[in-house]
Amino acid sequence: MEISGNDIEPPPFIHIRRNIFLVKKKRDDIDDGVGCSCKESCQENCECRAQTMSCSKSCVCNERCGNKPFRREKKYKLVKTLACGWGVQSCERISRGEFIVEYVGEVINEAMCEERLWTMKERGDHNFYMCEIGKDFIIDATFKGNASRFVNHSCDPNCILQKWRVDGEIRIGIFAIRDIKDGEPLTYDYRFVQFGPSVKCQCGSRLCRGNLGESYQQKSTKQLGFKSTDIPAWGEKHRRSQKSID
């Protein structure tokens, strides 16, 4: 992972490759014994892919299977942006639908999330990276994570978060939703949940909604360029302002 910009390095954090569970790890057994029937390398019509499930030993596909996205990351680097702090930039061409990087951190529950927010407020911290996946399933990359924590928001993004089942475990990947050029910034829509004063969006897109957390209903889906079903209900970026937890 390269780093470029005027600053020597971004704010410190502990780099990890996989999620660290601080709560009981829940295994989803729904895919036990379920596998695809692809005769050769899996393509778009793979039964597992249709369920956002990585192929497993239950599948009959061969070693060239194209439906094991979490095995290899794309090439990228950290860059210092003009308006959005640190960001992530592609170092190669990425095709629509391809896996880029896994969103990892410490997996915590709602009670731990609130406790951390209070502690951070008392310390005067302003930046944190929490992504709510479901009830009592929050990935907090504030202290431990990887480059995915620096992927910035855009109201017209080139990436999306997707929830996959990999050997029974829920994992979150950042995938390209269109072709991405070498050197292009990577972005996804945070679906930001704001608790307190509005935060001005700095994405610069012609489709910018103005503020993070702006309701989707205030723009037509046609203007936004996606169907409502393309935005999964489980993925949200959270930010509590100091005012909201006083």
10 Å CB burial of residue 9 (0-12, 13-18, 19+) is exposed
Whether pLDDT at 198 is above 80: no
pLDDT tens by residue, 69-92: 998 999 999 999 888 889 999 999
Please give the Cα distance from 163 to 192 (Å, whole number).
17
Whether pLDDT at 197 is above 90: no
| Conformational region of residue 52, where left means phi above 0, alpha means psi within -120 to 50, and beta covers everything else | left
Q: Which of 102-106, 166-170, 215-219 has the lowest mean pLDDT?
A: 215-219
pLDDT tens by residue, 140-191: 999 999 999 999 999 999 999 999 999 888 999 999 999 999 999 999 998 7
Domains of the chain by start residue, with CATH:
2-34+72-245 (2.170.270.10)
Whether pLDDT at 95 is above 70: yes
Query: Are 65 and 41 a contacting pair, CB within 8 Å?
Result: yes
Whether pLDDT at 16 is above 70: yes
10 Å CB burial of residue 85 (0-12, 13-18, 19+) is middle
Nearest to 195 by CA among 234, 140, 238, 153: 238
What would the mean pLDDT of 208-225 be, rounded to a whole number?
51
Please give the Cα distance from 102 to 222 (Å, whole number).
29
Q: Which residue shows structure tokens 């999620």?
A: 19
Helix runs in the chain, H state only: 47-50, 110-123, 221-224
* First-residue to last-residue Cα distance in the chain: 39
Please give the Cα distance from 78 to 223 (Å, whole number).
31
Please give the Cα distance from 40 to 58 (Å, whole number).
14
Please give the Cα distance from 196 to 212 (Å, whole number).
11
Quick one: pLDDT at residue 42?
Answer: 86
Query: Are 80 and 7 a contacting pair, CB within 8 Å?
Result: yes
Count of C-beta atoms within a 10 Å radius of residue 191 = 20
